[in-house]
Each structure stands twice: as structure tokens, then as C-alpha cells.
Amino acid sequence: MTTNSTETKASAKSFIKIADDEKGYPLDQFCIPKHYEEDLERVLIPEGLINDRTERLARDIVETFGNEAIVVLCVLKGGYKFFTDLVDKIQVLNRNRGHSIQMAVDFIRLKSYMNESSTGKIEVIGGDNLENLKGKNVLIVEDIIDTGRTMQQLLELMSSVQPKSVKVASLLLKRTPLSVGYIPDYIGFEVPNLFLVGYALDYNEFFRDLSHICVINSNGKEKYSIQQ
């Protein structure tokens, strides 16, 4: 469970909560790449459910910004799949609603993990000049908020370039005792304290080619670990 302060902040947010005892779905009920069949415990969130939830988040974002132009900033690499699907759904809404929001896109690449552990500091290893975001409405798109430290550091970096506004959309928010209490503006799913892979979430750069969000097993962790 999250801390009391986190639960209080999250109460105003809209998200799907996946319980700690959620059993998920057997692997043999889904199409899993052969090379990962022995490395996963179960499917936790099927791709179809992710797709539907992303569509609702897109609608919420369009309603929030109204006629304001936005820059959608993708946090690579893990966020690219959620980012692509979210932008596509906003574009569909732009074509089929009475009003639309103008979008530009930008990218930043960060690193804060090795194996299962956060390194404790954010490392910007790729991206355009963030000065281009000065005076603009920025929507940061992330795959997962874990402890929240990485996002807090990114928001501090963002504040230095003086955007007009900054909001954060994260597909997943993890319940972890290590959380600093940060809650994003848009949340797809609140998930248990498990190491999840798939839908572009990786374990040392593997599993990005897995369509569903799954729980990695001990065999997968051992097979794809980085030896130090």
C-alpha cells in the first residue's frame, strides 16, 4: 500500500487500482513471444486494457488544455509506446471534436536504473535543447513512476527553462515504501510493488518487444541481469 500522504494526494486523481493480490492472467491465454515464455510469471495488464485506458487519458488531457497548444515530451526509452499511442488518440480527438489542441512533440532520454535498483540520480543521456520549451505548455509522458525521485529531478530541470505550465502523464504509478509521495497529473494504473516488463518497459533493455505488461520471474531476472 502507498503511504497515507500519497493516498491523500492520489484521492483527487482518476486511475485504475490493481490490488496487491491481483492474480492477473495465465501466459498461455495470450500471445507471448517464444523467447520470453520462460522468463515471465503472468500477464498483469493486457494490451487491450492499456489501449482503452489510454484513450480515456487522451480525452482527459484534451479537456484540460482546451484550446491551448502543448508540447508533448516523451521520456525515452520506456515511455515511447505509451507516448505514441497517447498522441495518436489525441490526434483522433482533434479530428472528431468541436475543438482541437495544437501539438508539438519533443524527446528526452534519462537513465536511473541498473538491474532492479534505481541508481538514485537522474542521468540525461539524450534529448533536444530544453530551452525550446520556455513559455510553453508541456505534457511529460512517462511509462512508470516508481519512487518518484527521477520525475522530481526532471521537474526541477524543467523549471530552469521556465515553461508556461508542466503536467505529467504516467501509464503506471507503483505502490512502493520507497516512494517520495510524488503523484503525476494523469495516471493509467496504480500497480503493486512488482518489477514489470512489456509495453516498452524493460529489464536491462530486454522485454520492450512484449505487447502486454507482465511480471518478470526469477529466471528472467537472472538471464538478463547485468554482471557487475
Bridge pairing between strands 196-197 and 213-216: antiparallel
DSSP classification of residue 62:
H
Type of residue numbered 161: V
Dump the DSSP string for 67-134: T--EEEEEEETTTHHHHHHHHHHHHHHHHHSSS---EEEEEEEEEEEETTEEEEEEEEEEE--GGGGT
- Which phi and psi angles does 147 have, rounded to 5°? -75, -25
- Taking the C-alpha atoms of residue 124 and residue 88, their distance in angstroms, rounded to an integer, is 26
Active-site residue, from 106, 128, 146, 185 = 146
Q: Indicate if 21 belongs to the active site.
A: no
CA gap 195, 17 in Å, rounded = 16
Residues with catalytic function: 146
